[in-house]
A and B are shown apart, each in its own frame.
Chain A
Amino acid sequence: MDSDVLVVDDSAAIRKILQRVLRQTGMAINAIHEAGNGEEALALLKEHKVHLILSDINMPKMDGLQLLASLKASGDWSQVPVVMITTEGGETKVAEAVRLGAAGYVRKPFTADQIKEKLAGILEPALPL
């Protein structure tokens, strides 16, 4: 079964880059959904079932850590892997993301290979890469 992926970032540029990178990974993807912040992501998840979430941390309205906490506290989305992709490389933020249940952490700037490697480690063998 092909997967649906949700990309959450307030930068349209990063959403576009991640769309391209995800297509390059070879993942069997049905659709890539986009949200500009955590609130938009939660609204979108009411309409779509997704199998993987890539999220920035610094975003207006609801940041990535708040989104992660909401997802892990929910019954419906607590098992969906969430990978944080962010400029926030400080130990405090990384530790907070890990404590909240992030499946992985990629620091911006990133290469396509770094994203692919991270997703392979998280999704295999749940999703084909």
Chain B
Amino acid sequence: MNVENLIESAIHHSVVEVFSTMLSGNIEAGAVTREHTAPETAEGVISFIGIAGRWSGTGSIACSSAVACRICSEMLMMEATSLNEEVLDAVAELTNMIIGNVKSSLERHLGDLGLSIPTVVFGRNFQTKTGGSIDWMVSKFHWDGQELIVKMCLAPNEKTSQNAAQSLGQTCPVEI
């Protein structure tokens, strides 16, 4: 199994587990694609967490403002109708749990990884750009018909990895 397959599987399991444990409703996996770093105009909420270690990269979750409010309402059992500090904090924590569990799953194959504190961006007509040239694994999910997008980019850290030649699409050296 290559690293791309590992990430895809880990994201799917993590999203389903987090939603079934902390939230209600039906979460279904949609298309999985690979995207390059071209900036895209976005609106709503995007939460990022950095990943560092032998491999480094970023995990992110994007959703509409309405989905962010629903996440907060269900996690905290309180009604959230507009983007406020509690909504953003709930999205940050959801990201922490989803990407954190992906990280734990990947660590069995890629070695110890560290996570940063989540950063949440919200607004309209904003763009995000990742430094360097790295592909993103994009997994779309449908939560009772509303879209949630989980993205991850991960590459070997040339300074520390003994397998610096590996990339997202190449074979993982560890059997699973």
Contact = CB atoms under 8 A, between A and B. Distances in A.
Contact of A88 (B77, B92, B104): B104
Interface string B79-107: 00000011001101100110011011001
Bin chain B's interface residue count. 20 to 34
Contacts of B93: 11, 13-14
A92 to B, nearest CB: 6
Interface stretch (A66-74, A107-115, A121-129): A107-115
A25 interface: no
B86 A12 contact: yes
B41 interface: no
B29 to A, nearest CB: 18
Nearest to A56: B96
Main secondary structure of the interface of B (DSSP, over half): helix
B164 interface: no
Interface in B82-139: 85-86, 89-90, 92-93, 96-97, 100-101, 103-104, 107, 112, 115, 117
Given A58-B96, A88-B100, 17 more contacts: A10-B117, A11-B89, A13-B75, A13-B76, A13-B86, A13-B90, A58-B115, A58-B117, A87-B96, A89-B101, A92-B107, A92-B112, A108-B101, A109-B17, A109-B97, A110-B21, A111-B21
Interface of A: 10-14, 16-17, 20, 58-60, 86-90, 92, 108-111
Instruction: For the complex of A and B, list the 9 residue pairs with the smallest distance between their C-beta atoms, beginning with the closest.
Output: A87-B100, A109-B21, A89-B104, A11-B93, A13-B93, A13-B90, A109-B22, A13-B89, A109-B18
